[in-house]
Structures are given as C-alpha cells and as structure tokens.
Chain A
C-alpha cells in the first residue's frame, strides 16, 4: 500500500516500475513458455548447438571460413546500435580462430570504429557416438578498444581492452544439447588514453548456460531444407569483491538455409542486474555464411 502511494506521488517512478513489471513478467513468461517447449520437443526432436550468444565446445570444419555480419542495439530514450564484422576459420580439426572488428554509437553521438578482438578455441575432449557427443574446449580472447570506459561491466566485444580465458563443455544428446562455460576476464586501460577508472573492477568472472533444439525439419530430406532452431541462453557476469552481478536470459531463433547460410535473431534481457552497463535489453541480428574447404 505504501509502495502504491509512493508511486502515485511520483508518476515517473510509477511508469518506470510498471514498465519494469510488464517487461520482466513478459520476459519470464516467454522463458517459461520456451522451457515448456523444450521439454515437449525433447521427446521427438534433434538438438542443435550452433548457439547465438555463446560458442559451443565444437569447432568449425578444418579450412572452412565463416563470415558474420551482426547488428545489436537498444532503445533507451534514443536508439543506439553496434555492428560487428567477424571472420571465423577452422585452422585444424581441434583449433579454430575468430577475428572481429566493431563499430557503434554507444559512447559517442555518431558511429565510429571501436577496435577489434581475436579469439581462439582448442577442443581437447571428444567423446562421440552416433548423434551424440560430449566435448570440451579451452578458449582465449584478446581485445583492443578505443572507447571511454564508463561501464562496470567488462566486455571484450567492443567495450573494453582486455583478456579472457575459459573452458566450455557441450553435451549433444539425441534430444537435447546443453552447453556450459566459465571464464575469467581482465580489463586493461582502453587505447586512446581512455583509462579504466580506479573505482572499477579490473577482473570479472563470466558464466553461461545454453540449450537448443531443432524445430524443423522433423525429418531430413536434403541439404536445402530450411532448418529452424530455438535457443535459450543464460549469460551471467560477476565482478568479484565489488558485489556487481547480472544474469541475462537470451532466447533466440535461428534459420539455416541451404546448410550454409545462418540467420540469428535474439533478444537479451536482464533477469537481474546491479552492474552499470550499456543496456539491460538488447536485440541481436546476425547473418553468417559458411565457405567449406576454402584453402
């Protein structure tokens, strides 16, 4: 009752609370609905591990190249967005590398080139059988970014210069694919005399949990059928010693055309957050094309 009175007295707060209530509950309903869909589909479908917001423990085929064009952004009074160009290459059967460059208007009034990152993943464990596997991989990432540091979140995807190292395990079963990762991040000062504020955490722990399954086709006839995959991913970060945490849910839909062209659509929203960062709600659109046996 007291809360209601306070809200009535401050219309701005009331609207914000109402907005948060609706968006949070809609997000929760959506997640519950997707979880139910997962369980229902688990009896009849094959799973997928071509995750949208994380990487699985599996790699790309040797000597194949993936090219990604990505845009993500948010509306928060004004519209801001970031574009990413990413190249992925299968160096050997166990090693793949990524290289990315970023551009956004997150920290400035107009779009500008922010810097880049490199990523490598080494698969060290493969326990495979027909239509199932359990795999483990180590990964590392390094980034060089020229933005001012205004966030408490350490992110190597355009926001911070830094290093990341971690481990990921992926279990593909006939009916469900699950993937979990844990990693450690360290931020440096950004380039262009953009220092990491002394009050900010320089280290963070990130963890993810992802699930996915193939909705269509129910039965394969050929390579040209459009595959529809659904994903739910949980993405969390913690700044140890600073009491700063967040946990996001990121449901995603994916289309794969001709078994080479991928379209990813995802909406990432905070389940809880007490960390200063760019946005609590972000959309993601990505196009990916795969070229096999390039070299």
Chain B
C-alpha cells in the first residue's frame, strides 16, 4: 500500500512536470522567399534535438514546430539556427502549457531559465497559452524596443537567461 502511495505521488509529480512545457511554436522567418532558402532553414532547425516535427508554409515563410514531449526547449537555439541558415526570426509565438505552473509576480521558470510576461493580464494563466517572444533575435527592432521598458527585470533570485514574452 505504501509502495502504491509513493507510486501515485511520483506519477502525480511527473504528470505535473510534464504538463508545464512548451508544446509548439510558430516561427516566421524574414529575409527570404525561395523554397531552397526555406529548405536550408528547416534543415538547420531540424538539427535541434528537442524539435519533433516541422510543417512549413512556404508562401508565408512560417514554420510550425512541434516540440518533443518532455524535452527541454531552448528558444535561443531556434533563433541561432535560423540565423545560421542566413535569415532572421521575425516572429516567434510559442505555446506554453501553464497547468501547475506558479507565476511569481510576472515570472515563471522553465528548464533552468526565467520567463517574464511583460503584459500580464489579471486573468489566471491555465492550460496552453500562446506567447510571443519580444527579445532581440526574435522580433524586429520596432517590437523589442517597444517592450524594452516593460521588460526591465527584477533579477533577484532569477536563474538562467530571462526571456521576455507578450500574451
């Protein structure tokens, strides 16, 4: 009976951990039109081990990425891989599952990094929510400059890199 209780407890923890994660992302890439360029970008992105699948919209230059379940997603690596292919991320909208995630002020932690929601609303965050990264490397200059004041961080006790997100 004790073993069963421990098993249930471990299962509950692992489920809650599994739920708090990035599930997919829509990445719009700037600076290209041709399918050869898109192919180079997709091939570059596919070298990331946390990416499960990619569906490309060649007319809008949007890559819909599905992340592997329980893999640690690193958004900076996505931006780097796009730049390695010779282009830039114009927009990255990632879907994060907020089940069992505790927001401290406007911050939450994921895989060792800190995420700051710069335009947080009053409503409680539950389930999958799409978040747009507004940092340099993920958006045009006009966008990351617009959020630069709101993105000022309280760095006390924050770990890893601090990403800035808009809902």
Which residues from chain B contact A293 at a C-beta distance below 8 Å?
A: 43-44, 46-47
Tell yes or no: A225 within 8 A of B by CB: yes
Is the Cβ of B36 less than 8 Å from the Cβ of A256? yes
B58 with A222: CB separation less than 8 A: yes
| B137 nearest CB across to chain A (Å) | 12
Cα(A293)–Cα(B40), bound, Å: 9
**Does the CB pair A132–B31 fall under 8 Å?**
yes
Known: A222-B58, A260-B39. A128 touches B33 (CB 8 A): no
Is the Cβ of A50 less than 8 Å from the Cβ of B85? no
Q: Given A64-B40, A130-B28, A130-B30: A220 and B86 within 8 A (CB)?
A: no
User: Which residues of chain B have C-beta atoms less than 8 A from A220's C-beta?
Assistant: 35, 58-59
- B143–chain A nearest beta-carbon distance, Å: 12
Interface size class of B (residues with CB under 8 A): 20 to 34
Q: Which residues of B, 75-91, contact A by the 8 Å Cβ criterion?
A: 83-88, 90
CA gap between A227 and B35 in the complex, in Å:
8
| Residue interface bits A203-223, CB-to-B below 8 A is 1, else 0 | 000000000001000011111
What residues on A are CB-neighbors of B40 within 8 Å? 60-61, 64, 290, 292
Interface residues of B in 59-101 (CB under 8 A from A): 59, 61, 83-88, 90
| Closest B residue, CB atoms, query A291 | B43
Given contacts A48-B34, A129-B90, A133-B32, 6 further A-B pairs with CB under 8 A are A61-B86, A128-B90, A130-B61, A131-B61, A223-B39, A223-B56
- A-B interface contact total, Cβ < 8 Å: 96
Which of B28, B46, B84, B90: most chain A Cβ within 10 A? B84
Least Cβ–Cβ distance between A277 and chain B, in angstroms:
33
Of all chain B residues, which has the CB nearest A129?
Answer: B30
Could you tell me which residues of chain A, from 205 to 255, have a CB within 8 Å of some CB in chain B?
214, 219-223, 225, 227
A225 to B39, CA, bound (A): 12
Closest CB pairs A-B (n = 4)? A128-B31, A220-B58, A292-B43, A62-B84
Interface mask (B138-162 → A, CB under 8 Å = 1, otherwise 0): 0010000000000000000000000
The one of B30, B83, B84 in contact with A133, judged by C-beta atoms closer than 8 angstroms, is B30
Does any Cβ of A come within 8 Å of B38's Cβ?
yes
A98 part of interface (Cβ distance < 8 Å): no
Q: Which residues of A contact B35 (CB under 8 A)?
A: 220, 223, 225, 227, 256, 259
Does A269 touch B at the CB level, under 8 Å? no
**From A123, A172, A219, A221, contact of B33 by CB (8 A):** A172
Whole-angstrom CA separation of A129 from B143 in the bound complex: 13
Contact A133 B31 (CB under 8 A): yes
- On chain B, the residues within 8 Å of A221 by CB distance are 58
Q: Are A223 and B58 in contact (CB under 8 A)?
A: yes
Q: Which residue of A lies closest to B87 (CB)?
A: A128
Binding site for B on A (CB under 8 A): 46-48, 50, 58-64, 90, 92-93, 123, 126, 128-133, 172, 174, 214, 219-223, 225, 227, 256, 259-260, 262, 290, 292-293
Q: B30 contacts A128, CB within 8 Å?
A: yes
Report whether A259 and B39 are in contact in the complex, using a CB–CB cutoff of 8 Å.
yes
Bound together, the chains give a CA A47 to CA B37 distance in angstroms of: 12
Residues of A within 8 A of B90 (CB): 128-130
Given contacts A128-B30, A131-B33, contact A60 B59 (CB under 8 A): no
A128, B86: Cα distance in complex, Å: 10
Q: List 29 A-B contacts (CB under 8 A).
A: A46-B33, A46-B34, A47-B33, A48-B33, A50-B36, A58-B86, A60-B86, A61-B43, A62-B84, A64-B40, A93-B83, A93-B86, A123-B86, A126-B31, A128-B87, A129-B30, A129-B31, A129-B90, A130-B90, A131-B33, A133-B30, A220-B35, A220-B59, A223-B35, A227-B36, A256-B35, A260-B36, A290-B40, A292-B44
CB A292 to nearest CB in B, in angstroms, measures: 4
Cα–Cα distance between A256 and B90 once the two chains are bound (Å): 26
Note all chain A residues with C-beta closer than 8 A to B38. 223, 259
Cα distance, A149 to B35, chains bound together (Å): 42
Of chain B, the residue at the smallest CB distance from A123 is B86
Q: Once bound together, how far apart are the Cα atoms of A46 and B33, in whole Å?
A: 7
